[in-house]
Amino acid sequence: MPYLRSSSGTVLSAPNHNEVEVSIFGPGYGEAIALHVECGKWILVDSCLEPTSGQPAQVQYLEQLGLDVSTAVKLVVATHWHDDHVQGIGTLVARCRSADVVMSAALKSEHFSALLRLYGEGAFPGSSGVTEFVNVLRLLDERRQAGTKINMAKLAVPDKLLYRDSILDHDQSYDVEIHSLSPSDASIVSAQLDFSQRIPLSGERKKRIVPPHTNATSVVLWVEIGERRLLLGSDLEKTADPKTGWTVILNDSQVTREKAFVYKVAHHGSESSHDPGVWERLLHEQPYALLSPYMIGGNILPKDGDIDRLARLTPNAYMTATPGGRRFRMSNRVVRDTVESVAKEIRGIRAGWGQVRLRCGIQNDALCHVELFGDAHNIAAS
């Protein structure tokens, strides 16, 4: 099994019962998060495949820690239906039998269900995200028919409580809560209208299902564990409409009363997802910023300007892999001049896989420790 040791040589071991962990995995096309909330209980957000085994990254990681995912995982969240966030999520839900499932309320609609019935059986070369959601919904329906009381889909809407528990630490009890901050009502209505327009009329040829360009229906999560706050930004973008995107969260959310010390950077650090208000009002100064790149064809995120912006905002910015094709300049001028005399352009090597793991205590003054696996690196130091 790969990555049994981090870049500093640390052997993998499970976190303590009162220790917060957030791990983000990313192969360059794909993103997944594993979150230890307390006492061996885990929350998994989205899914991507570990490139060597082809298994969901979080499942492989938790099993490396010696955990049984069928009992340890309490919640699986599918933030949206873009392929790079749901690869293998059907397998993830099947393996995590004790977990409830959360999805965007925009996806639990008559029109989206109709699209799944039309395109989800493999007869049409649509997106893999459609097939993954078909698998998840079919599995949940089978569990419902079998009389299972858990595993029913929870629908994410603004300020909705998705998970609640408590942790006892040195005779003191701490609350654990997870809320969804999105999608907004306007985003849900807009998505449902979009889905209805994608259903072909009688006799009309089926067209490829292309997810909406914007990520307005993404599920952003607000996590509270003891004194710690985490903001998991999914792929939410800023928009010109104050009723959608980050603006509606900044204006209307009632659960973001304190600032978060960890930010899963939205939409791979892109300019379209950057809202200064998020950094000023929702995050501590110089938070831990975690992200994965997006690399497919010529579309590469984050761009050089995005990386520079993140490095200016915090020295604690970490990425799971190197964006392919990022241009760089060698520090040694003689070597640089020699190479540039025979090459048109110098590009970084496209890294294939990495994991960023952050662990800390549940008190605000507890130290945080970051471990980097595979191709993960600190942006400010690169």
- What does the pLDDT read at residue 194? 74
Residue 250 makes CB contacts below 8 A (sequence gap 6+) with 275, 277, 278, 281, 282
> Would you list the domain boundaries of the chain?
19-378
Whether 154 shows a pLDDT value over 60: the answer reads yes
- What does the pLDDT read at residue 369? 95
- What does the pLDDT read at residue 334? 47
pLDDT (mean) for 168-193: 88
Whether 306 shows a pLDDT value over 50: the answer reads yes
Whether 297 shows a pLDDT value over 70: the answer reads yes
pLDDT (mean) for 72-81: 93
- What does the pLDDT read at residue 349? 41
Mean pLDDT of the chain: 83
What is the percent of the chain where pLDDT is above 70?
A: 77
pLDDT (mean) for 57-63: 96
What is the percent of the chain where pLDDT is above 90?
A: 54
- What does the pLDDT read at residue 41? 96
Strands 32-38 and 19-26: antiparallel
Cα distance from N-terminal residue to C-terminal residue, the chain = 27
pLDDT (mean) for 197-217: 63
Tell which wins on pLDDT, 320 or 51. Answer: 320
19-378: CATH superfamily:
Ribonuclease Z/Hydroxyacylglutathione hydrolase-like (3.60.15.10)
- What does the pLDDT read at residue 346? 44
Least confident of 157-166, 193-202, 316-325, 333-342: 333-342
Tell which wins on pLDDT, 331 or 247. Answer: 247
- What does the pLDDT read at residue 27? 84
pLDDT (mean) for 2-28: 77
Whether 199 shows a pLDDT value over 80: the answer reads no
Banded pLDDT at 65 (limits 50, 70, 90): very high
Tell which wins on pLDDT, 136 or 326. Answer: 136
